């Protein structure tokens, strides 16, 4: 892929080097806004996330060129067999194809894309669930408020006014929990018959429920008098259940009044009828004129003596009883595998590619500045002399500063390593002050030869063709040959 470089306007030599200090490609507007560059970046962002295998990446020649250029591996463009073997290897395994490469750029590319890295599939969450049975008080009264926690989310003093059905109650509680959970929809509260079911899609456990009941009272009923048949009055206990939500009874029937009759523990209409009949008869001098009978959920009060006036007041509270509670498990995201779908990784490669193109643009007027900028960002991460030797551009900078002849690169790599190790400590590259002095010296020395070349061309830039950017130092040998040498070690 041939791309026309955009001139940055940076002068050559030490003057240009000083201009570049503290600058990024974005500081050069003509470069950063170049339409060709922006078109490339858009293509990279659009296509890279879809390449879930190394083969699909390498088969897209345009994308392959951009990615390899981003890592300074231009010389490997087209070597699909080698690159696929490297990309599909485990970056964490020192014996893998990537692990055996001397040039750290191969290992970095393999680790970033992670086509061959170990992967663990995602594990879905198991729902957390709590089930409550909810019963209203005898008079239809429910709850005034709620405080509690579910799925590690806590709510306090939630008003429940107007929630006179289980469905409305579920809706109010679900809204409160979801709001407290940051507006997410993981927590659900659903009404099923007499029950409320709380569930959490994230599998968070732990629950605690506290409802504040409203004291309930049945409607007061007054029966009329009759002289031809016994007075009777029917009372339908349509809210009665086994949840023992009747607390007490106070009332009058057949002119007989009873008060504070305990109904706790009575879960059926028949049991309530028996208790009330016994109480009224005792209060009526142990006579049997008053009868209380149950027919389903209906109580019928009858007075054989035809006495009028009746009123009934049942008191009770709504109840909510926890029936089941199941703690779920949180899901885990997939780990490992290709990282090309990661927006952060795509952004990082976009940045690398932009930087590579910027350095290429610098090289249009000064190969010295191009190499110096490249070395400044690359050398601090270099921990092996073999990586310097394998990267022709880093080797050129270091050899120039150390005064080594051009023939030095033809020596055996172990001889080169030994010679470089004697001349300087590779850890010095991590010292910003020492690295700055080294690169300033390189620019000063190399700019002289660049100026002479410029002068000899009568003002036309015709510098000696530089070594292919990203190639190795083995006399122009391909990376296939490099890989073969390393594999044989």
Q: How far apart are CA 314 and CA 245, in angstroms?
A: 10
Sequence-separated (6 or more) residues with CB below 8 Å from residue 257: 251, 283
Going from the C-alpha of 1 to that of each of 292, 446, 470, the distances in angstroms are 98, 29, 15
Q: What is the pLDDT of residue 61?
A: 96
Nearest to 249 by CA among 319, 312, 174: 312
pLDDT tens digits, residue range 323-378?
Answer: 888 888 777 776 667 899 899 999 999 999 999 999 998 888 889 999 999 999 99
In terms of domains, do 339 and 452 share one? yes
Q: How far apart are CA 263 and CA 365, in angstroms?
A: 99
Q: Is 31 left (phi over 0), alpha (psi -120 to 50) or beta?
A: alpha
Answer yes or no: is 4 within a domain: no
Q: How far apart are CA 208 and CA 153, in angstroms?
A: 10
DSSP conformation letters of 164-206: -SHHHHHHHHHHHHHHHTTT-S-EEEEEETTEEEEEETT----
In terms of domains, do 270 and 386 share one? no
In terms of domains, do 478 and 365 share one? yes
DSSP conformation letters of 309-357: -EEEEEEEE-EEEEEEEE--B--B--EES--TT-HHHHHHHHHHHHHHH
In terms of domains, do 149 and 241 share one? no
Answer yes or no: is 457 within a domain: yes
Q: What is the pLDDT of residue 102?
A: 82
What token pair was written down for 172?
A: 């109010």
Q: What is the pLDDT of residue 55?
A: 96
Q: How far apart are CA 379 and CA 436, in angstroms?
A: 11
Backbone angles phi, psi at 144, to 5 degrees: -95, -25
**In contact, 367 and 397? CB cutoff 8 Å:** no
Q: How far apart are CA 385 and CA 404, in angstroms?
A: 15
Give the helix/strand (H/E) hosting 111.
Answer: helix 104-113
In terms of domains, do 276 and 307 share one? yes
**In contact, 141 and 216? CB cutoff 8 Å:** yes
pLDDT of residue 113 exceeding 90: yes
- Look-up: residue for tokens 């080294």? 438
DSSP conformation letters of 413-437: HHHHHHHHHHH--GGGGG-HHHHHH
Q: What is the pLDDT of residue 96?
A: 93
Last residue of a domain, one of 295, 326, 357: 326
pLDDT tens digits, residue range 237-260?
Answer: 644 554 446 778 888 888 899 998
pLDDT of residue 123 exceeding 80: no
**Nearest 5°: CA angle at 375, between 384 and 48?**
90
How many residues are recorded in the chain? 489
Answer yes or no: is 249 within a domain: yes
Answer yes or no: is 1 within a domain: no
Q: What is the CATH number of the domain that holds 73?
A: 1.10.3700.10
Q: Is residue 26 very low, low, confident or very high in pLDDT (cuts 50, 70, 90)?
A: confident
- Parent domain of 81: 13-119+335-487
Answer yes or no: is 172 within a domain: yes
What token pair was written down for 421?
A: 């190790």
Q: How far apart are CA 327 and CA 149, in angstroms?
A: 13
In terms of domains, do 473 and 344 share one? yes
Q: How far apart are CA 34 and CA 42, in angstroms?
A: 12
In terms of domains, do 104 and 135 share one? no
What token pair was written down for 111?
A: 């680790």
**Nearest 5°: CA angle at 473, between 472 and 474?**
100
- Look-up: residue for tokens 């000063």? 444
Q: Is residue 117 very low, low, confident or very high in pLDDT (cuts 50, 70, 90)?
A: confident
Last residue of a domain, one of 326, 345, 367: 326
In terms of domains, do 253 and 206 share one? no
State the average pLDDT for the chain: 83
Q: What is the mean pLDDT of residues 112-118?
A: 90
Answer yes or no: is 168 within a domain: yes
Which residues share a beta bridge with 316? Answer: 216
Last residue of a domain, one of 307, 326, 345: 326
pLDDT of residue 77 exceeding 90: yes
Task: Name the domain count of the chain.
Answer: 3
User: Which one of 77-91, 306-320, 468-482 scores highest in mean pLDDT?
Assistant: 77-91
Answer yes or no: is 6 within a domain: no
**In contact, 74 and 68? CB cutoff 8 Å:** yes
pLDDT of residue 218 exceeding 60: no
In terms of domains, do 372 and 291 share one? no
Sequence-separated (6 or more) residues with CB below 8 Å from residue 235: 218, 221, 298, 299, 300, 301, 312
**In contact, 225 and 312? CB cutoff 8 Å:** no
Answer yes or no: is 3 within a domain: no
pLDDT tens digits, residue range 161-211?
Answer: 888 889 999 999 999 999 999 999 999 999 998 899 999 999 888 788 998
Backbone angles phi, psi at 314, to 5 degrees: -95, 140
In terms of domains, do 281 and 395 share one? no
Q: Percentage of residues in the chain with pLDDT exceeding 70?
A: 83
Q: What is the CATH number of the domain that holds 283?
A: 3.30.70
Q: How far apart are CA 274 and CA 287, in angstroms?
A: 15
In terms of domains, do 114 and 161 share one? no
In terms of domains, do 232 and 195 share one? no
Nearest to 397 by CA among 374, 427, 365: 374
């Amino acid at each position: 892929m041939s791309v026309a470089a955009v001139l940055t306007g940076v002068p050559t030599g030490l003057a240009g080097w000083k201009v570049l200090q503290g600058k990024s490609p974005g500081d050069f507007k003509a470069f950063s806004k170049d339409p060709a560059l922006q078109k490339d970046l858009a293509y990279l962002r659009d296509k890279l996330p879809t390449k879930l295998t190394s083969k699909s990446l390498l088969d897209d020649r345009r994308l392959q060129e951009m990615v390899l250029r981003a890592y300074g591996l231009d010389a490997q463009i087209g070597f699909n067999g080698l690159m696929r073997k490297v990309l599909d290897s485990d970056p964490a395994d020192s014996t893998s194809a990537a692990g055996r490469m001397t040039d750290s750029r191969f290992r970095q590319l393999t680790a970033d894309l992670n086509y061959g890295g170990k992967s663990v599939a995602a594990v879905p969450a198991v729902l957390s669930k709590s089930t409550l049975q909810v019963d209203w008080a005898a008079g239809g009264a429910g709850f005034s408020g709620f405080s509690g926690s579910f799925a590690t989310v806590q709510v306090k003093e939630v008003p429940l006014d107007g929630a006179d059905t289980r469905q409305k109650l579920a809706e109010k509680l679900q809204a409160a929990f979801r709001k407290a959970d940051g507006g997410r929809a993981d927590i659900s509260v659903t009404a099923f018959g007499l029950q409320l079911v709380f569930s959490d899609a994230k599998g968070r456990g732990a629950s605690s429920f506290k409802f504040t009941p409203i004291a309930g009272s049945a409607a007061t009923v007054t029966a009329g008098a009759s002289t031809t048949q016994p007075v009777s009055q029917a009372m339908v206990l349509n809210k009665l259940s086994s949840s023992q939500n009747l607390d007490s009874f106070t009332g009058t029937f057949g002119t007989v009044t009873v008060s504070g009759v305990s109904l706790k523990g009575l879960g059926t209409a028949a049991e309530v009828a028996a208790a009330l009949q016994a109480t009224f008869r005792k209060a009526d001098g142990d006579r049997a004129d008053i009868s209380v009978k149950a027919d389903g959920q209906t109580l019928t009060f009858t007075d054989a003596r035809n006495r009028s006036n009746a009123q009934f007041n049942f008191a009770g509270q709504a109840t909510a009883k926890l029936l089941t509670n199941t703690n779920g498990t949180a899901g885990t995201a997939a780990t490992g595998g290709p990282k090309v779908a990661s927006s952060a990784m795509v952004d990082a490669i976009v940045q690398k590619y932009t930087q590579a193109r910027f350095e290429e643009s610098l090289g249009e007027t000064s190969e010295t500045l191009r190499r110096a900028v490249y070395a400044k960002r690359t050398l601090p991460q270099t921990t092996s002399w073999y990586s310097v030797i394998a990267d022709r551009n880093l080797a050129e900078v270091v050899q120039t500063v150390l005064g080594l002849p051009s023939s030095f690169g033809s020596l055996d790599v172990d001889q080169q390593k030994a010679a470089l190790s004697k001349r300087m400590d590779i850890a010095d590259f991590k010292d910003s002050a020492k690295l700055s002095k080294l690169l300033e010296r390189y620019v000063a020395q190399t700019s002289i030869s660049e100026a002479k070349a410029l002068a000899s061309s009568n003002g036309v830039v015709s510098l000696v063709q530089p070594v292919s950017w990203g190639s190795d130092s083995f006399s122009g040998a391909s990376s296939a040959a490099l890989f073969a040498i390393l594999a044989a070690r």
